[in-house]
Every structure is written in structure tokens, then in C-alpha cells.
Amino acid sequence: MHTVVRIQPLTKAAFAKFGDVIECEESEFFPINDGHTQRYHALSTIQCEGEGSSVGITIFRNVITTDLPLKISMLERHPYGSQSFIPMARQKFLIIVALASNADQPDEQHIYAFESNGLQGVTYAKGVWHHPLLSYESPSDFLVVDRISGGENCDVYQLSSPCVINY
């Protein structure tokens, strides 16, 4: 028996317990540079813990196209830092997250799937269980902001049974 998770639109309210949605829509801004630019300030903040750790800006290139329905069998988390994904070419992408049942594993009964509209990025809060990057187009480039040093920062959990993601 597979659990089926229905994909829902990505909104700030629906995603709040997992982290931040990075988007200009419905966000406050102020003018800078003599009015030439609108600054949407601090749409998300980066978390970074651990001695010798730092934050880096990286590009992830997704080279495998995601097709639906999708069967997943694992989730990961980063216990010492948040992780942001921002699409660089307005491509839609799939976001899969889970609440923690305890400190060591995700709650397999509460897995959620969201779809970015291509103008939204996300920040997974420190320790949030999520699936690695899934894009409907390949290759797809994403600007990633995350903890890049200071030791191991990725826990992987194999689900007890696969989960199917679909509309």
C-alpha cells in the first residue's frame, strides 16, 4: 500500500511550518537607488550552526526531468543549517516536505507536496525533512544558499514504504 500525497500550490501560509517562500508577490518593498529598484528585503533568513561553518551561494543544475506520478522512497534534512532554492529561469518545481515525528525521523503520515509557480523559491528551515531537488524541466538551474562548511550536515531517511506524489 502506497501513501498518495496530493500536490498543492505553494503559498506562504501553507509552507510556514517548513520554512519560507521566497517571492515578491504580496511582499513589502521599499525603493532604493533613486527609485530605480524595489528592494524586497529579507524575504528569508539563513540559519547556520557549527564551529567553522559558513554560508555559500551555489548553483545546482537539475539534469533529470521529474514526471508525475512520482514515487519517492527517501527524505533528507540538514540539522545545522537552512537551505534555499531559487529557480533561475522561472521554471516550476516540486517541493516535498515532512514534519518530524521525533528528533530522528520524519512523520511518514504527514508528508506534503507543493508546486512552485516558477517565480517562487523556498527556504527549508534547519532540520526540516525534504526530498532533494525535483524539477519538471531539465536542465534546470537553481541558486542555492546554504551551509557549506563545518562538517557533515545531511541526514538521509529511507521511508518504510514508497510514497506516490501526484495531483
Q: Return the percentage of the chain with pLDDT > 90, whole number.
A: 90
CB–CB of 84/123 below 8 Å? yes
Helices (H) and strands (E) in the chain, counts: 1, 14
Percent composition of the chain: helix, strand, coil (DSSP 3-state, to 5): 0, 55, 45
**Confidence at residue 103, expressed as pLDDT on a 0 to 100 scale:** 62
For the chain, give the longest Cα–Cα distance: 60
Question: What ranges do the domains of the chain cover?
Answer: 3-166
Q: How far apart are CA 60 and CA 97, in angstroms?
A: 19
**Confidence at residue 2, expressed as pLDDT on a 0 to 100 scale:** 79
Q: What is the pLDDT of residues 14-27, one digit of tens each?
A: 999 999 999 999 99
Residues 6+ away with beta carbon under 8 Å from 145: 46, 55, 56, 57, 58, 83, 84, 86, 123
CB–CB of 160/2 below 8 Å? no
CATH number of 3-166: 2.60.120.480
